[in-house]
Amino acid sequence: MDLPELGPLWLSLQLAGAATLVLAVLGTPLAWWLARTRSRAKPVVEAVTALPLVLPPTVLGFYLLLLMSPRSWLGGLWVEVTDTTLTFSFAGLLIASVVYSLPFMVQPLQAAFESLGRGPLEAAAALRASPLDAFLTVAAPLSLRGFLTAAVLTFAHTIGEFGVVLMVGGNIPGKTRVISIAIYEHVETLRYAEAHTLAAGLLLFAFVVLVFVYVFNRRLPVHVA
């Protein structure tokens, strides 16, 4: 049996890791705002956040492709600043993944923050903790399960994406050929053994990650208010 190249696997892990980190930074404040706001804009923002769940990946990919093309403002700016195009690049893939996986980060975090209630934060404020202090020392530790769930879902979802990647990134070895694209190509060219190895590897990986999450989740203390 021919061993397939491991480049696509490595690229997928890098992409998913980077997308998870970026989304943790962007998604946490957004989820916090959604969980606490009484603004009338909330349902609109929630709908926008949830769009990637219901849109076909090709639709999302199509608009992202238009946005990143050198003729659009974003793509043009990118070309000016970096001298490379955003489409068919790792950076382009990362931006697309962040948009595509946004609800997988925001929704579990929002649910975790909402389930906190106002109690612990009021208690912290009464003990002179500023809002940021209270978030870091009370809300975040009490939402550990939410963070874990959000990170795992985001990571796994990014590993599994196909349509958006194909639209925005194409299939450039070492740059944009991620594992799902590689499997697709192996199948298209009838190299089933290699497709098999990658597919089975991905299956095993997903299983191991999920088992780890469930075990870890069980060990985390449950904080019932």
Partner 1 sequence: MSPEREGTTLELDVRVGFSGFDLDVEQAIPAAGVTAVFGPSGSGKTTLLRAVLGFEACARGRIAFGGETWLDSGRGVRTPPHRRPVGCTFQDGRLFPHLDVEGNLGYADRRSTPELGVAAAVNRDDVVDALDLAPLLGRRPHTLSGGERQRAALGRALLSRPRLLLLDEPLSALDRRRKAEIMPYLLALHPRFGIPTLYVSHAVDEVALLADRVLVLAEGRVQAFGGTVEVLEQLDLAPLTERFQAATVLEARVGAHDDEYRLTWLDLDGQRLSVPRIEHLAPGESARLLVRARDVSLATERPSPTSIRNVLSGVLVALDRDESTAFAEATVDLGSHRLRARITRASAAELGLAVGSPVFALLKSVSLDTRAGR
Residues that bind partner 1 (CB under 8 A): 118-120, 122-131, 133-134, 137-138, 141-142, 221, 223-225
Return the closest-CA partner of residue 9 out of 203, 198, 200: 198
- Residue (215 or 225) nearer to partner 1, CB: 225
Choose between 149 and 158: whose C-beta lies nearer to partner 1: 149
Q: Cβ closer to partner 1: 71 or 219? A: 219
In the complex, minimum distance from the CB of residue 137 to partner 1, in angstroms, rounded to a whole number: 7
Q: Which is nearer to partner 1, 43 or 119 (CB)?
A: 119
The residue among 71 and 128 lying less far from partner 1, judged by its C-beta, is 128
Residue 27: CB minimum distance to partner 1, A: 22
State the nearest-atom distance from the C-beta of 212 to partner 1, in Å.
Answer: 22
Q: How far is the CB of 198 from partner 1 (least distance, A)?
A: 41
Query: What 3 state SS string does the chain have?
Result: CCCCCCHHHHHHHHHHHHHHHHHHHHHHHHHHHHHHCCCCCHHHHHHHHHHHHHCCHHHHHHHHHHHHCCCCHHHHHHHHHHCCCCCCCHHHHHHHHHHHHHHHHHHHHHHHHHHHCCHHHHHHHHCCCCHHHHHHHHHHHHCHHHHHHHHHHHHHHHHHCCHHHHHHHCCCCCCCCCHHHHHHHHHHCCCHHHHHHHHHHHHHHHHHHHHHHHHHHHHCCCCCC
Q: State the nearest-atom distance from the C-beta of 218 to partner 1, in Å.
A: 17
